[in-house]
Amino acid sequence: MSALKQWINVHPKLAAWLILAMGMVVLVVWSAKDVGLLPGQMLALVVATIGLAGLCVWIIGWED
């Protein structure tokens, strides 16, 4: 557990990106489950969501 805390302290933006992306992907997949997307479309949606999470963390990091 201490190794995880140390990694988060060393890489706070990557940790924030990872946590935010996981949460956003869960919400997007849950929201799109009944839409009937093809696997490729779902993959593109997940990749776009991960990129959006990274962009959000990057923009929030402008304050630092």
Q: What is the mean pLDDT of the chain?
A: 94
| The pLDDT value given to residue 30 | 96
Helix H, strand E, coil C: the string for the chain is CHHHHHHHHHCHHHHHHHHHHHHHHHHHHHHCCCCCCCHHHHHHHHHHHHHHHHHHHHHHHHHC
Band (29; pLDDT cuts 50, 70, 90): very high
Asked whether residue 1 carries a pLDDT value surpassing 90, the answer given is: no
Could you tell me which of 50, 46, 43 has the C-alpha nearest to residue 16?
A: 50
- So where are the chain's domains? 2-63
